[in-house]
Structure formats: C-alpha cells, structure tokens
Amino acid sequence: MIPNHMTPEQMEELRLEYERIGERMRELAEKATDLEKRMFDVLKEIMKQEDNEKIEEIRKNILGG
C-alpha cells in the first residue's frame, strides 16, 4: 500500500526499487532452475555409477570372482 503523502519523486523511487527487486527475484529463479538441472544431472551420473558398480559385481559373481 502506498501512503497518500508520498511525493512523486518518492513514488518513482519506490517503483524503481520494486523493479530492482523483481529483476533480482527473476535472476534468483533462473539460478535456482539452473542449479536444479545441474543437481539432476549429477544425480543421474551417480545412479549410472552405482548401476555400473552393481553390474560389475554381478558379472564377477557370475564368473566366480
């Protein structure tokens, strides 16, 4: 809520501050999305490595160690 006693200059300053906050929020949302994607990629790599280790263990068991 904007008080009625604000000058036009104060209102403009407030508007600009809201714009800066909005831009910063967009930047943070983009970084969070990028981070989420990277975390998912890392998780996929970990799962592949675990799968490869399990496959190797099974192969060793089948071949007698």
Q: Is the pLDDT of residue 3 over 70?
A: no
Does residue 50 sit within a domain?
A: yes
| One-character DSSP codes across 24-40 | HHHHHHHHHHHHHHHHH
> What pLDDT sits at residue 2?
59
Q: Tell me, what DSSP letter sits at residue 3?
A: -
Q: What is the structure's pLDDT at 5?
A: 85
Q: Is residue 64 part of a domain?
A: yes
- Asked whether residue 57 is domain-assigned, the answer is yes
- The structural domain count of the chain equals 1
Question: What pTM does this model have?
Answer: 0.58
Structure tokens at 15: 């508007």
Instruction: Note down the domain range covering 49.
Output: 36-65
Does residue 20 fall inside a structural domain?
A: no
pLDDT digits (tens, 9 = 90+) for 4-56: 788 999 999 999 999 999 999 999 999 999 999 999 999 999 999 999 999 99
Assess if residue 48 is contained within a domain: yes
